[in-house]
Amino acid sequence: MDIPIFNPRDERDKRPYGAVPCGTSISVTLRPPVQEGFAECTLVLCCEFAGTHQEIPLRPAGTEGGRSLFAGSYDAPAQPELAWYCFRFRRGDGQTAWLGRNGLCGEGEAVCWQQTVYDDALPTPDWFGRGVTYQIFPDRFRRTFIPDPAGMLGDRVVHQNWDELMDYLPDCNGEIRNRDFFGGSLAGIEEKLDYLHELGVSTLYLCPIFESDSNHRYNTGDYDQVDPMLGTEEDLRRLCARARERGIHVMLDGVFNHTGNNSRYFNACGAYPSLGAAQSTESPYLDWYTFQEWPVRYDSWWGIHTLPAVNESHPDYIRFIIEGEGSVIRRWLRAGADAWRLDVADELPDDFIARIRQVMMEEKPDSFLLGEVWEDGSNKIAYSQRRKYLLGRETHGLMNYPFRVSALDYLRGGDAQDFREAMETIRENYPRPAFYSCMNMLGTHDNPRVLTMLGTYPKEAPASRTERAHYRMTPEEYYRGSRLLQAGAILLYAFPGSPTVYYGDEAGMEGYEDPFNRGTFPWGREDRMLQRRFALLGRLRRERVSLQMGELRWLHAQGHVLAFARDWGDETTVAAINVGKDAANVIVPWTGQLATDTITGQQFQPVGGYVILCLPPMDGMLLA
């Protein structure tokens, strides 16, 4: 096996591993072949936010197995930073060579490694990453009666039959307004808290609950009012209290980049008695928005005219949302919420996010702030600006879409090595508290149902919207999707971060893109086998500290088979997964006595410190 000159994931070459707190001493050792004739080595470090460039000579440290050794150390910056580094070698004759992630190369060709430097002075609450999250689209989870929409905001229509298809075709103006409701409510969620507790849920993430004229409620009408179809503020307070009795925290969805045009603040439709920005230039909300031609042309989210964008830097808006005594952030934390999820965090200024975290710490020190980011959040560029989501003063954690993408690729037949590489990149780039606070998921309200994605692959989705609306998997597709989802659930629950279940994924719900991924929960028609798997894994996650906080140790990643361990003190849990169509053997180290598969109860006797597992096709084991 070829020994690399430098591997930042090997503690012999770089200590400590990955992201580091400000001021940490970082040691590096390089091992170029002796025949290269390198006499000098310099670490070249560039700090992006500070705009500084530093060159640190490394000392010759002898030879080892035909390799020259160069070693040294440097102190990480004293302030949060995104640093980039590579190495310059010089031979005795003065010629130079550069080393980066792309190997030895010429000057200007090296691809730098990333070094994340974060502020660890502000603690990250550990309850979120340790437990299981359950995401609910409130209109579609559970209703206790059929509501009457009379007098409510917008032209709402309520489906009388809970099980019928949602509206999905454009209206006469070519728009899909999402004005059809099924009447799911906060009381309905409260009614099913025992069900959620049996699933092992410790965080309940609710898509927006504030008054709005759409069923998804991402176009807020009034931040100070619970949507009346969901219930009242008292209903929310009671839900939070009853959830807390079962050890469940409530996370609210904060949509602060834009409002609805039919809102108290913009009021284009005149639905509210207040004077909105679209009604008068004397409106107290006028400067919350940016008009090119008042009142018809204005900044909006992705050009959608019903979602006018807000100026998050306006002092009055900051007071209203964040810093005022009765601000939106403070008000709903006081009502019982324990966390906020920031919708489209890419669209929110870093300072706006940092202010939210500061106020949350003041109001409820153990509260948690999550950001919606779809890429590696440690080096994300949004609108030509490098973001600072994870440097210790902004979000505590992010939605882990890289996990979702890589896990689905693997579950659908990809190489386990690619999944390991993608996750090692995240683990290396993220501060440890942020990595263990990721929201890991296979499905969300913004993606097709995971069961459909697994069962129908590689078949293309039907071309027409109507075909996709009515499509149901064949028995063969459903069987394949269900088996792979059971395997994926092991991966989801065993990996560091909070395993997150989109409501109904555990019950066998299927469907293509929005709105077909937002059907009503099939109470009484659930896939019991899937439910049992998710409930078992939820119980194990609750009971085993190694699954909550344990160090990640890769054991095998090749082809269809993936195996890794989670270690915490004397407790070890091993996940072994096979996504292939045939059974597969894998050998994993085991230092204890009998190894027990917690899924089936099967036991394995270790021989010479190893156990041999015969993994069933499209499934896995969780050894304890």
Q: Is residue 346 within 8 Å of residue 387, measured between CB atoms?
A: yes
Cβ contact 45:54 at 8 Å:
yes
Task: Quote the strand ranges of 294-337, DSSP E.
Answer: 297-298
| Cα 489 to Cα 484: distance, rounded to the nearest angstrom | 8
Question: Positive or negative, the Cα torsion across 413, 505, 423, 563?
Answer: negative
> Do 446 and 580 touch, CB atoms closer than 8 A?
no
Tokens for 514, please give them: 């929005």
Q: What is the spatial distance between Cα 621 and Cα 615, in angstroms, rounded to a whole number?
A: 7
Per DSSP, the three-state class of 339 is strand
Please, are residues 17 and 70 in contact by the beta-carbon 8 Å criterion?
A: no
Is residue 100 within 8 Å of residue 127, measured between CB atoms?
A: no
Q: What SS3 class is residue 197?
A: helix
CA distance 470 to 452: 13
CA-closest candidate to residue 87, choices 62, 61, 55: 55
CA atoms within 13 A on the CB side of 309: 17
Residue 154: which H helix or E strand, with range?
none
Active-site residues: which are they?
Answer: 343, 372
419 token code pair: 């999944």
Q: How many angstroms separate the CA atoms of 61 and 63, rounded?
A: 7
Q: What are phi and psi of 618, to 5 degrees?
A: 50, 50
**Reduced 3-state DSSP string for 347-409:** HCCHHHHHHHHHHHHHHCCCCEEEECCCCCCCCCEECCEECCCCCCCCCCEEEEHHHHHHHHH
590 - beta bridge partners?
none
Closest CA to 232 of 289, 147, 317: 147
Which residue is listed with tokens 């936010």?
A: 49
| Spatial CA neighbour of 137 closest among 261, 253, 302, 263 | 253
Q: Spell out where 426-518 has E strands.
A: 439-441, 498-502
Closest by CA to 435, choosing from 115, 127, 113, 129, is 129
Q: Which two tokens stand for residue 4?
A: 């690399």
How many CB atoms are located within 10 Å of the residue 241 CB? 13
